[in-house]
Structure 1
Amino acid sequence: MKKLSLQTFCLALVVVIGLSACTGLGKLVKKANTISYKVTPDPMEMHGDSITVSISGTYPAKVFPKKAIVTTIPVIKYNGGEKALKPVVLVGEKAVGNGTKIAYATGGSFSYTSDKVAYIPEMKVATLELKASGAVKKKTKELPVKKVADGTIITPLLVKSDERAIMAKDNFQKVIPRSQTGNIFFVINQSQVRSSELNSPEMKAYKEFVMMGIAKKFTFKNMNISAYASPDGELTLNASLAENRAKEAKKSMIAMFKDKKTKVDTASNDGFYNIVTTAEDWDGFKKAMEASSIPDKDLILRVLTMYPDGEVREKEIKNLSKTYVEVADKILPQLRRAVMTLNAEENSRTDEQISKLAASTPDSLSVEEILYAATLTTDINTKLDIYKKAEAKYGSDWRTSNNVGYILLMQNKLSDAEAELKKADGLSANNPIIKNNLGIVARWKGDRVAAMELYKAAAGAPEATYNMGIIEIQNGNYPAAVTDFGSNNTFNAALAKLLNKDNDGAMMTIDNSNEKDAALSFYLKAIAGARQGKADVLTNNLKAAIQKDATFKEMAKTDAEFIKFRDNADFKGMVN
């Protein structure tokens, strides 16, 4: 009985082996190590928050069974889990099914690109394995699991949140230009200054300006006197007349500046006065005519313009004044004048005065002064306090709310910053400064799409363009990031070039940046060295990074950027 059972078992085993041999699956399993695979990229890489791999494989001749269907599942394995990718289906030449055909006699190849897989931090240290099984009808065989790649390069995650927020500027001037202009009008063919002219409302305002300037300690710089004659007189006479009018106007001004109430010592010097004379004020005549209500003024001006000869034009203007009373009574008299412009400078409060008032009585400051006051301190909390005071007094000025939001943004108080910036946005719609700052809030809150739209709305602001580069790195669009960063020499600009496969450009940008001595900058240069296969560049820069920040030692140990150098003695000595 025992002998019969043993015979039965042996027979069954022979049948199984025979069936496997008939299906060809046994040979497939046995020859599995002859199947070649190539993974791109290897190590795997994360771009735009996801991983994508391409796999190409080749089966040698007389390995793939004619009636078999082989399903291969790429699997990303990491500590604590695994992620299966979409399968690859290969079919033998006599198999019924959908997939890439592989001939038995000649063998064949396949290519495959996975769907995007969301990256999670655990995938930093990972492997890509292929799990394959062959089937012929109901018979199946598992092929040995094969590791085909390591993972994962996550260098894009080094991007720094160095967004450029924009502070609204004040228009504070330490020296404020002040000026006052007055006119003295003369009787035809005369240059005497009438007392009625010196007591006109215009000249009274002139004197009040001088008195105000004296009270506020203006620095009186100079006076420009432009004297004119109307274009209806003989040229030589008019030239002399204009000069005399300038002299008389100057005498009157000197007398005024000697008066006790309007005394300005510097105005007694000849160098204080700049005199220009115009013998025939043809331009003034044209402007006065154009502004008049004379019915035929356009025709008259066209006709007069036809006479290039000044004397002929003088006669025509005289004739014109006889025909048109308004020309004689209103146009020509206002051209017989001296125009005096007094230029002065008002000194603003000193920085010390402004700082004290900002702390004690901020309501006494103008909006420009209080915004300026915030720039006089380096303490961020003091700045915030001043901007809040500015907002309380000048809440209708968008700059106050924007700058409160700016400081809150620097303090990473996103909700409060957003509220202030939205307030500013309500006061000044489509303002590129505010849109840029709101874009930073959106990006820091994780909404890259909204942030990009806000940056686009801030078109023209170089800060917004730079900030777009950060998002393009996160999106995996490295050429666009390089463009956005432009000529800026920053860590992020160097990172964009590295990710865009410009290792030399990345190194040059870092070396020209203000961040060149930072540990992270040395680490980026070590990565560039690894990508170039330059062990000395890698080790020298990694050593510098670790010396400045010991956390880079552990980081480098598991960084897939250095996977090809893990057996390098110098590398091992630094990270172990």
Structure 2
Amino acid sequence: MKKQLFLVVSIMLALGFSSCSKKMGELPQDLFKVTPNPLEVKGGKIDAKVDGKFPEKYFNKNAEIAVTPVLKYNGTETRGTTKVFQGESVTGNNQVISNKEGGNFSVASTFNYVPEMAKSELYLDFAVKVKGKEAPAIPQVKVADGAIATAELASASAGEIAPAITPDKFQRIIKETQEADIKFLIQQTTLRNSETKSQEIKDLTTAVKDAKNTENKEVSSLNIIGYASPDGPLALNRNLAERRLDVTASYLNSELKKMKANVAIGKDFTPEDWEGFKKLMEESNIQDKQLILRVLSMYSDPEQREREIKNISSAYTVIADEILPQLRRSRMQLTVDVIGKSDEEITQLAKNNPSSLSADELLYAATLTNDLTEKAVIYQRVINNYSNDARGYNNLGMVRYYQGNIDEALSNFTKAARIASDDASINYNLGLVALEKGELDKAEQYFGKSAGANADLNQALGTLYVAKGDYSKAKTTFGSTASNNAALMQILNGDYNAARRTLSAVSNPDATTSYLGAVIGARTNDRNTVYNNLRAAIAKDKSFAAKAISDIEFAKFMADETFMSIVK
């Protein structure tokens, strides 16, 4: 009896599942809409939202259906986020689908992009349970093709964005300046021995003699300015300033003649030295200083200034004793050019005796060659001789970045940052490496510390925003930049005319420039533009042939004989 009952129950269950399977069979593709379709890579991810419908009298009242988007590519698949729906008789918290009326539903997933996904298909997978037990699955339904990966053409490579050099401070000619004053008594123009024998005068004449006798030095200029203090009549002060200038020039010419130095003297005078007066007042502790400075700012007429200051009787006595005597003078100003090593000398010493050069001279030597291998050797010598100078590490990292060796570049940038963590150019370069490696948040942090870097920060930031999928911010950041990355941003924003103009203005067009031109042609149904640009891209870089044949941008050209002849 028990065996018969078990047999009856088994048959009923089997019939029940059979009935379920029959009623919940394959769903037609036209019940589903995917946004976007085809799928698109944005910010390194593929977002897919599927809106679907279960038809009337389809959904078993006792069933639960787990719907999972599945992206299939290159013989493998990635499963997305599962969402469960339930029939009217099921106890649970999932969306209920009516058996009689059917019901609309939505599922959404985000897939982390890998290059193989460029040629992929999106399916919906349906796992079924009836009364809590597994039931035959509903056949998978293909709902979209994918994915457009054009955004992945954004590049931080050295061919697109230049890394930043930390520059040398080498100067071929260094200007050394020196000044000396000769003071005069009130209303007098006589040179006093105490003044001509001062240490200032001795130092200045010694500097002239040293410039005359030193091979890499020469006097650039020697000027004298005669002054009078701003008290007394203007005509008197003018005469005093001119006479003080003349007697000082006569004395200095005599000294130059003794040392046989042929130096031309420039001459000028200032009748009333109000600027000198103001400077000395600002530096003084004189009572009513601020009141006197206010007078200078309120009045421009010299006579009125003098009257107003003399009215401040308590201060004027101190001014007469401490300030005005310092303004009765002549000033000698000497500039000597110290001429550094020639480019030829620096180049030879960098090769044969690098330790004889300063860090700045060695860094400068690297700028005298365009050969990256030679630059790397010189920067390594900077590191060997000046290991605490971050510039050697950063600039060697820059060379490795240009050479495409990102890991070595990162190693050197990191060493540079240990020495100079706040350096804008070093942080910029670390940001480029992070961007190239797809570490977008880290790149943004480094770029945030890169203000003032010796590089095009807007180009790097614009590329970062493209990589993050923020095309609006990228547009603002790029501005009028003419680069592949800027044109890519315009393509992604659908501004194809602007993208054409940008590509035509790229200073060093490469394979990517041409490939982007082909994408514009495909999106605007211009076959000749597609063909011509693809030919150019593949001629420059054969890898673009394989990329084009799997690129959904060119899906409608795949059956075209001309297209296939270009990419094969």
**Alignment TM-score > 0.5, same fold:** yes
Compared CA separation, residues 355 and 38, structure 1 to 2 (3 A): same
Q: Which position in structure 2 is the counterpart of 1:377?
A: 369
Task: Return the match for 1:210 from 208, 211, 221.
Answer: 208
Task: Check the 8 A contact 1:228/1:335 in 2, yes or no.
Answer: yes
TM-score by length of 1: 0.81
1:452 is matched by which residue type in structure 2? E
3-state SS in 2 of match to 1:567: coil
Mapped to 2, the partners of 1:63 and 1:300 lie a distance apart of 96
Task: Check the 8 A contact 1:234/1:314 in 2, yes or no.
Answer: no
3-state SS in 2 of match to 1:457: coil
Mapped to 2, the partners of 1:79 and 1:315 lie a distance apart of 92
Q: Which position in structure 2 is the counterpart of 1:558?
A: 550
Per-residue CA deviations over 1:395-423 (Å, capped at 9, x if unaligned) read: 44433343334334444555654454444
3-state SS in 2 of match to 1:407: helix
Task: Check the 8 A contact 1:234/1:311 in 2, yes or no.
Answer: no
Mapped to 2, the partners of 1:567 and 1:24 lie a distance apart of 42
2:234 is matched by which residue type in structure 1? L
Task: Check the 8 A contact 1:495/1:506 in 2, yes or no.
Answer: yes
Mapped to 2, the partners of 1:108 and 1:210 lie a distance apart of 98
Q: Which position in structure 2 is the counterpart of 1:184?
A: 182
Query: Structure 1 residues 302-311 or 486-495, which shifts more?
Result: 302-311
Q: Which position in structure 2 is the counterpart of 1:125?
A: 119
Task: Return the match for 2:167 from 151, 159, 169.
Answer: 169
Mapped to 1, the partners of 2:311 and 2:208 lie a distance apart of 40
Q: Which position in structure 2 is the counterpart of 1:435?
A: 427
Task: Check the 8 A contact 2:50/2:108 in 1, yes or no.
Answer: yes
Compared CA separation, residues 573 and 224, structure 1 to 2 (3 A): same
Task: Check the 8 A contact 2:295/2:308 in 1, yes or no.
Answer: no
Per-residue CA deviations over 1:168-200 (Å, capped at 9, x if unaligned) read: 112222333333222122233222333443332
CA RMSD of superposed structures (Å): 4.0
Q: Which position in structure 2 is the counterpart of 1:250?
A: 249
2:531 is matched by which residue type in structure 1? T
2:113 is matched by which residue type in structure 1? Y
2:506 is matched by which residue type in structure 1? S
Mapped to 1, the partners of 2:191 and 2:491 lie a distance apart of 78
What's the offset of the Cα at 1:107? 4.8
2:39 is matched by which residue type in structure 1? M
What's the offset of the Cα at 1:62? 5.6
3-state SS in 1 of match to 2:562: helix
Mapped to 2, the partners of 1:140 and 1:547 lie a distance apart of 56
Mapped to 1, the partners of 2:339 and 2:134 lie a distance apart of 97
Compared CA separation, residues 33 and 451, structure 1 to 2 (3 A): closer
Q: Which position in structure 2 is the counterpart of 1:361?
A: 353
1:241 has 2:237 as partner: no
What's the offset of the Cα at 1:292? 4.9
Mapped to 2, the partners of 1:311 and 1:76 lie a distance apart of 89
2:190 is matched by which residue type in structure 1? Q
Q: Which position in structure 2 is the counterpart of 1:4?
A: none
Unpaired runs of 5+ residues, structure 1, are 1-13
Q: What is the number of equivalent residue pairs in this alignment?
A: 552
Task: Check the 8 A contact 1:184/1:197 in 2, yes or no.
Answer: yes
Q: Which position in structure 1 is the counterpart of 2:7?
A: none
Structure 1 residues 373-452: aligned runs within 5 Å: 373-411=365-403, 417-444=409-436, 447-452=439-444
Structure 1 residues 160-559: aligned runs within 5 Å: 160-162=155-157, 163-216=161-214, 218-259=217-258, 261-264=259-262, 266-267=263-264, 272-278=265-271, 280-288=272-280, 291-292=283-284, 296=287, 298=289, 301=292, 310=303, 313=306, 324=317, 330-411=322-403, 417-444=409-436, 447-461=439-453, 463-516=456-509, 518-559=510-551
Mapped to 1, the partners of 2:199 and 2:279 lie a distance apart of 24
Mapped to 2, the partners of 1:396 and 1:511 lie a distance apart of 45
Compared CA separation, residues 253 and 523, structure 1 to 2 (3 A): same
Mapped to 1, the partners of 2:41 and 2:169 lie a distance apart of 47
Task: Check the 8 A contact 2:148/2:552 in 1, yes or no.
Answer: yes
3-state SS in 2 of match to 1:29: coil
3-state SS in 1 of match to 2:70: strand
Task: Return the match for 1:47 from 24, 42, 49.
Answer: 42
Compared CA separation, residues 433 and 151, structure 1 to 2 (3 A): same
Mapped to 1, the partners of 2:294 and 2:37 lie a distance apart of 86
3-state SS in 1 of match to 2:32: strand
3-state SS in 1 of match to 2:344: helix
Per-residue CA deviations over 1:282-306 (Å, capped at 9, x if unaligned) read: 4434544554566x46389479879
TM-score by length of 2: 0.82
Q: Which position in structure 2 is the counterpart of 1:83?
A: 78
1:241 is matched by which residue type in structure 2? L
Task: Check the 8 A contact 1:132/1:142 in 2, yes or no.
Answer: yes
What's the offset of the Cα at 1:338? 0.8
Q: Which position in structure 2 is the counterpart of 1:3?
A: none
Per-residue CA deviations over 1:65-103 (Å, capped at 9, x if unaligned) read: 666655544332333323343445455566666554555
Mapped to 2, the partners of 1:331 and 1:77 lie a distance apart of 89
Per-residue CA deviations over 1:369-404 (Å, capped at 9, x if unaligned) read: 222122112222332333333344444443334333
Mapped to 1, the partners of 2:478 and 2:552 lie a distance apart of 26
Task: Return the match for 1:37 from 12, 32, 35.
Answer: 32
Query: Structure 1 residues 484-493 or 82-91, which shifts more?
Result: 82-91
Compared CA separation, residues 285 and 318, structure 1 to 2 (3 A): farther
Q: Report which of the two structures shows the higher radius of gyration computed on alpha carbons.
A: 1
3-state SS in 1 of match to 2:448: helix
3-state SS in 2 of match to 1:372: helix
Task: Check the 8 A contact 1:491/1:515 in 2, yes or no.
Answer: no
Q: Which position in structure 2 is the counterpart of 1:109?
A: 104
3-state SS in 1 of match to 2:563: helix
Query: Structure 1 residues 285-294 or 370-379, which shifts more?
Result: 285-294
What's the offset of the Cα at 1:513? 0.9
